[in-house]
Structures are given as structure tokens and as C-alpha cells.
Structure 1
Amino acid sequence: MGQELALIRRITLKLVPFLVLLYLVAYVDRSALGFAKLHMSTDAGIGDAAYGMGAGLFFIGYFLLEVPSNLWLERFGAGRWFARILITWGAITCAMALIQGPYSFYVLRFLLGAAEAGFFPGVLYYITQWYPVRHRGKIMGLFILSQPIAMLITGPLSGALLGLEGAGGLHGWQWLFIAVGLPAMLLTWPTLRWLPDGPQQVRWLSDSEKNWLASELAHDLHTYGQTRHGNPLHALKDRRVLLLALYYLPVTLSIYGLGLWLPTLVQQFGGSDLTTGFVSAVPYVFGIAGLLIVPRSSDRFNDRYGHLAGLYVLGALGLFFSAWFATPVLQLAALCAVAFSLFSCTAVFWTLPGRFFAGASAAAGIALINSVGNLGGYLGPFAIGALKQHTGQLASGLYFLAAVMLCGLLLTVVVYRVLERRHALAPEQFAASARSRLS
């Protein structure tokens, strides 16, 4: 067991920090929009409903191209395909500084989603090529740390960049888009140069270690009855893929709906743009804590669904009370519970698809699950914007998200009964199986 952990640790040190950096840049890019909205609305004539629609159009482009992107990843290799994604999304983000009104905002947001399509599910598929199922919970947790870390960075950074109003003849929000787009373009060459396509292409694994890893992945294929379709597109009509896609929808709807409107909510507390940036970062400290605790617990007890059910309940309560409370301190405390729940939910959920699919089928299935789930990235911001415009209060959108999280709790029961109950293994069975293969 010690040799196994040492090997997993070495793979993690070689791959995960760089993958975290890439997704951190991607998530800073996404989350900066919520801060740009604080002034872009006035300067470019974009109201709440138009902002909600444009914020969500990113995910329509993402939805349409995500499955093809993951299949192209399988064909061209991780290094080249991720480099292509980086340079195009970086260039389009910089172009967001040229927005003149709602229509240019809509077009660029759609193109940005199309450019970035496949990056997140591509990394998830990439992880399945390197790690046996029993190690994926903590690895997913480490990778998804990029999200709350990005939000910690984005708040103060955005507040400072918005303060550059008028510098060089540009608005502060224009400087913000330029600043968050450039790092993606600069990381293109390092990605092309350093990111290996798979275990067989690296020199820092011995032949025996490569063989051991291949045998473990083959063992997972047998243990979980993983599917490799002759045509990977057949995964797109597999009922397991469709049910998991529906199950993921409440998480994305809530996480993007809240994230893109959080600066607006915090601004209501009072204070400067810089203060709003720092206060908006506080819930993401709790998101980091959740990712360091919950996925490891999920691995240890080999329990995905119990953890997910508890997280859905916590998220629903946090969203409800963030709208119910009138005191900023209590609202912020409730939002901290929401962040803890949502980010942990994401990490634990993404251990599930790899239990059912392998190879190109996993690439197609993961992409479809994420693309359908990311329709929540359209529905969440749009629904909150429409509800806020109709009622005049952001609280109505938070109540809506609380109801969405309760739907996720109900789906936990359905998914477990339909897909997983017959595959449940006790933790000691995992340990005994691993020891027998290492001996």
C-alpha cells in the first residue's frame, strides 16, 4: 500500500498543480464578469435581464461544442488540445473590453463558451486515465480547489482593477477583461510543452509502474462494469449518462447563479468596490475547506451519495437563510455554508461517471454530463436576473436556488436506486482488493 500511495503522490505532484493553475485562470476569467457588471451595466447599457442572458449564453456555446471538443481531445492529445483552448479563450476574453452594448456582449459571451468548451470535462477525462477509481475523490477535490481559490483572487483583483477607471482612456471593467485574458494566452506554450498526453508517454514512470497503473484501470473496468462503446457517440444515449447529467444540473445552476450575482449581493452591504471584492472572497475560504475535507471523507468511507445528500441539504438551507436574514453578517455566514456545500458537491459528483465508463466512451459521456449540467450556467444567472428585475429583490433568486438544491436531494435518492446500489462496495473490500493486487 505504501508503494501505491507513493506512486499516486508522484503522479499528483507532476500533474495536478499545473492543472489547478490552468483551471484557476479559467475560473478567474469566468468569475470576473460578476465584478465587471458593477460598472459595465452603466457604461455599456446592459440591464439586469440582459446581463443575466449574456452571462448564460457562455454556457450555450459550451453546451454545443463540449462533446466534439472531448472527442477531439482523445484524437489530438491533451497538450495540443488544451493549448488550443487556452489561446482562443484568452483572446476572446481580452476582446470583451470592446463591448459596446447588449448585442456585442451576447456574441462575445457565446464565442467565449464555444472557445472554452471541453476544458473542464477534458481535465476530468484526463484524470480517469491516470488514477484508479478509489483515488479520484481527493484528486477531484484538489483540482476543483481552483474554483474557490480563483474567487479569492478575483474579488480583490477585480476591486483593484475597477479602480483604474480612466487610465489609458479605458474603463476599469475594460482593464479587468484584458488582465484576466492575458494569462490564458501566456500559458499556451507551457501547456503544449509540458503536459503529457497519458501515462505511456512519460519518462518519470518506470515500465512496471505503467503496467501496474494499466492493470488497476483494467480492474476498475471489470469491478464497476465500465462500458466502452464501439462508437463513443453511443454513450450520448446511455440512460446512465442522461440521468447523471440531470443530477449535475442543480449544482451548476446554483454555483453559477450565485457566483455571477454574489458581487451584486455583497455590494448591497455597503462599501467601496475594493471592499466588495474582499468581502465577496470570504465564502470561498469555506469552499476551500470543504474541498479539503469532504472528498477525502467520501474516499475513506467509499460513500458518494450520503455525502452528496448532506451537501444538498446544507446548500438549500444556506441559500434560504442568505435571503431570509436581513443582517449582512448573518447573510455572509449563510453564504459561507453555501460555498462549502457547492464546491464539495462538484468534487464528489465527478467521481461518479468514471465508475461507469472508460476510454472514448468516458470522454463523450463526461462531456455530455457537463454540457447538459452547464445549461444550469445559463438558467441560473438568467433566472436570477429575471426574478430580480420582476420583484426588485435579489432574495427571490436565492429562494429559487434553495428550491433547486432540494430537487438535487430528491435526485440523489433516484440516482442511487437506479444506478449504484448494486455496485456499492464496503471500504474494507476496496482495501483487501488493493492489497491482493499489490502482493
Structure 2
Amino acid sequence: MSQELRLIRRITLKLIPFLILLYLIAYVDRSAVGFAKLHMGADVGIGDAAYGMGAGLFFIGYFLLEIPSNLMLERFGARRWFARIMLTWGAITMGMAFVQGPTSFYVMRFLLGAAEAGFFPGVLYYITQWFPVRHRGKILGLFILSQPIAMMITGPISGGLLGMEGVAGLHGWQWLFLCIGAPAIVLTLPVLRWLPDGPKDVKWMDPVEKQWLAGELKKDLEEYGQTRHGNPLHALKDKRVLLLALFYLPVTLSIYGLGLWLPTLIKQFGGSDLTTGFISAVPYIFGIVGLLIVPRSSDRLNDRYGHLAVLYVIGAIGLFLSAYLTVPVLQLAALSLVAFSLFSCTAVFWTLPGRFFAGASAAAGIALINSVGNLGGYIGPFVIGWLKELTGNLASGLYFLSGVMICGLILTGVVYRVLERKHALPESKFAASARGSR
């Protein structure tokens, strides 16, 4: 193994498992509401449309504060800022146990989004400070494993906690919010103690390794034409940022639209809450498989857009079949295909912004891309809830998401033509230079 690969492996082992754990907890906190909805709606009077709106309001809070949060990360450092985010989101998640109706549900979901704003894009920016471009597909694939793993464990854990109905006078869904919010608060101190702000702060890299890494990141800056705006807020006006934000929208709209309604869909198969939880975990196993295979293939072939196009096609077909088919086993198979596609899309997509931006510009640009893209987290759940009330079934919402994935396929061609052909080196030259650096 070369010295480069040994160093990359060491950095990966030191940072990525801990970051996976932190984002896993964040993802459980934001997605468990889908299981709480199975009983919370009847207890406090929240209908399908109100649930869809409240579930989506998380992303409005996220959208409004994500850019300021990422700029604060650049100013205060990852260690302190991630700890602040975790403390506030854990406390607000626990506060979800005490909602009394639609209004308080809306307020708490909005505040949860505001509290968590900046964590995911902050980690993406953090990764750009540790890994050269040619290694980021695999690293992002590993980090985003936290999403399907979170959804896998959320189902069984939520099903079990919902069974605590009446314990200490609380509903099962109240126990759910209390128990899933606590780990974020508990992990605040380990984040402050163990997470380094950057390569210069660690003792497990010698000066030669630090110099090599700084040199490789500088080469990326020159080779890929990365931009460092004098004022990082100028990145928000860069048309590349705006186009990438639009390109990300179909992925988030589909992931959250499906994820927040998946428990309701699986519940229609029949069975207890615990059974629903375990069955809901099945598609995410295939999401994990996709993240272990597709980003590595994307790195090896140095092909981002071709992989994204294929994934959008697979996702569109899977969503269409999950709506069209009526046999539960076949629906579950189609949903597994969708999960394989969507999570792989996320990892491959996030290799793109770091090719165009660096430094504080990357922090602001990544935040804007993620915040605009995450508006899909509002649109998806809301539209599906509205369509369900209008038509009486979830199939209409799944057809809608299938159409969204087709839009993503079209945008793949548009983004490639605008960004790669006009603003970057050809793909083949990227591949050749990456191979030469090895």
C-alpha cells in the first residue's frame, strides 16, 4: 500500500466512524416523526395534510439558517460548532414529546430544523479540508451510510418505543421523542474533546504528512479551477452554486418524501407497529449496498454524471413500480430499488461542489446548495400528504416522485453541459491527472 493510501486510511479511521455516528443520531431524530405519526395524529389531532406540512417545516428552518450556520463553522471551528448544534437539536427533539396539536407541532419541527441547520453541509465542508478530490466519492459514500443505517434502526427502535404506551403516564410516541433526543445531548462532550478542527490540530499526522495534504489540496485548487471568493457570500450569486442547488432538489424531495411516509405505506401491508418497523428497514439495506458500490465505481472511473443518470432512471422505475404494483412483496422490492438509487445519488452528487469551490466559498456554496435542495424536504412530504388526502391513497404521491426523478435525469444533462463543458476540464483529463498523482 502506498504512503498516500495509508494516510488516507488513517484519516478515514480517525474521523469518519465518529462523524457517521453523529449524523446517524441526527437522521434518527429528524425521521422518527414518521413513526410517531402512526399514533400522535390521533392523540393530538394532526391529520395527513397537517402532518405533511409539519414534517416539511423542519426544512424551512433548515433553509433559513443553514448558510449562517456554515459560516459560523468556518469562524468558530468544527469542534465547538458541531457540539452547539447537537446540544440544541437533542433538546428540541425531546421537547417534541410535549406537542399539543398542529400549531405546536409546526413550531417544534421548524425549531428542530433551525437547530440542526448546518450540520450535514458542515460535515461536507469539513471533509473537503481532509481529503483530496480524487478520494471524496468513496469517503462521502462511507459518511452517507449513516442515512440508510439510521432509517434501518429507526424502524425497530421506534416500533419498540411506541409499545411503551401508558408507561409513567406517557404515550408511546412521547417516549419515542424523549429517548431518541437524549443521545445527541450525551455526545456533546465527546465532540468537544475528540473532534479536531483541522489537520493542523492533530498529533497523529507528522509535519511531512500535513505538508503533503496541504499540497494536494492546493493542487486541487489549481487543477480543478476552484474558486475562493474574497467575500464568501459572493458564492451565493455564483451560477454554478445555483445550478447545483437545483440539481440536488430531486434527490432530497424524493428521499424525504418517501422516507417520512414509508412507515404509513408499510403499515398498509398489515401487522403491528414493531413488524412495520422491521419491514421498513429492508429498503435501507439496499441503500447501504448502493453506497458501498456506486461511489467507489464513480471514483474509479472518474465518472459522476453517467452514474447519476443511471441512478435517476433506476429511481424513477422503482417509484413507478412501487405505486403500480399491489402485491406487498413486489412493492417492497421496488422500494428497495428506490433506496439503492437515492442514497447512491446523494454520495455521487456531493463530489461535485468541491470540484468548483474551496475555503469559505465552499462553506457558503455547500450550505446554499444543501439548503435549497432541502426545500425538497418540505415539498415532498407536503405534496404527498396533500395527494393522499385528495385521492385517498399513497400511490399518487409515488407517481409524483417518479416524475421528479425524471426531472433529475434531464437536469443531469443540463448540468454536465453547462458546468463541465464550459467551466471545467474534460472528464478524461480529470481521470488522467488523478491517475498520474497516484
Q: TM-score category by the smaller chain?
A: over 0.9
- CA drift of 1:428 comes to 5.2
State the alpha-carbon separation in 2 of the partners of residues 257 and 73 from structure 1: 29
- Equivalent residues in 2 for 1:298-317, closer than 5 Å: 298-317=298-317
State the alpha-carbon separation in 2 of the partners of residues 386 and 428 from structure 1: 46
Match of 1:36 in 2: 36
State the alpha-carbon separation in 2 of the partners of residues 410 and 248 from structure 1: 12
Match of 1:425 in 2: 427
State the alpha-carbon separation in 2 of the partners of residues 37 and 92 from structure 1: 17
Residue 248 of structure 2 aligns to a residue whose secondary structure is helix
2:243 pairs with 1:243: yes
Runs of 4 or more off by more than 3 Å in structure 1? Answer: none
Match of 1:434 in 2: 437
Gaps of 5+ in 2: none
Match of 2:177 in 1: 177
State the alpha-carbon separation in 2 of the partners of residues 164 and 293 from structure 1: 39
8 Å CA contact retained: 2:303, 2:427? no
State the alpha-carbon separation in 2 of the partners of residues 94 and 428 from structure 1: 48
8 Å CA contact retained: 2:317, 2:402? yes
State the alpha-carbon separation in 2 of the partners of residues 280 and 31 from structure 1: 12
State the alpha-carbon separation in 2 of the partners of residues 254 and 155 from structure 1: 19
TM-score, scaled relative to structure 1: 0.98
2:121 pairs with 1:118: no
CA deviation map 1:120-148 (0-9, x unaligned): 00000000000000000000000000000
Q: CA RMSD in A?
A: 0.8
- CA drift of 1:423 comes to 2.0
Match of 2:68 in 1: 68
- Equivalent residues in 2 for 1:135-150, closer than 5 Å: 135-150=135-150
Match of 1:106 in 2: 106
State the alpha-carbon separation in 2 of the partners of residues 28 and 55 from structure 1: 14
Match of 1:263 in 2: 263
- CA drift of 1:420 comes to 1.2
CA deviation map 1:66-112 (0-9, x unaligned): 00000000000000000000000000000000010000000000000
2:48 pairs with 1:48: yes
Q: Judging changes above 3 Å, is the alpha-carbon distance between structure 1 residues 323 and 188 closer, same or farther for their aligned structure 2 residues?
A: same
Match of 2:168 in 1: 168
Match of 1:227 in 2: 227
Percent identity of equivalent pairs: 79
Match of 2:80 in 1: 80
State the alpha-carbon separation in 1 of the partners of residues 206 and 432 from structure 2: 28
Counterpart code for 1:57: L
- CA drift of 1:30 comes to 1.2
State the alpha-carbon separation in 1 of the partners of residues 49 and 425 from structure 2: 45
8 Å CA contact retained: 2:49, 2:385? yes
CA deviation map 1:317-371 (0-9, x unaligned): 0000000001000000000000000000000000000000000000000000000
CA deviation map 1:299-327 (0-9, x unaligned): 00000000000000000000000000010
Counterpart code for 1:173: W
TM-score, scaled relative to structure 2: 0.98
- CA drift of 1:31 comes to 1.4
CA deviation map 1:124-182 (0-9, x unaligned): 00000000000000000000000000011100000000000000100000000001100
Match of 1:376 in 2: 376
Counterpart code for 2:432: Q
8 Å CA contact retained: 2:71, 2:363? yes
2:59 pairs with 1:59: yes
8 Å CA contact retained: 2:64, 2:114? yes
Count the aligned residue pairs. 435
Match of 2:23 in 1: 23
2:204 pairs with 1:204: yes
Gaps of 5+ in 1: none
State the alpha-carbon separation in 1 of the partners of residues 435 and 292 from structure 2: 26
State the alpha-carbon separation in 1 of the partners of residues 427 and 407 from structure 2: 27
State the alpha-carbon separation in 2 of the partners of residues 97 and 340 from structure 1: 32
8 Å CA contact retained: 2:316, 2:405? yes
- CA drift of 1:247 comes to 0.1
State the alpha-carbon separation in 2 of the partners of residues 93 and 316 from structure 1: 33
- CA drift of 1:425 comes to 3.3
State the alpha-carbon separation in 1 of the partners of residues 312 and 427 from structure 2: 23
Counterpart code for 2:290: G
- CA drift of 1:397 comes to 0.3
Match of 1:129 in 2: 129
8 Å CA contact retained: 2:308, 2:348? yes
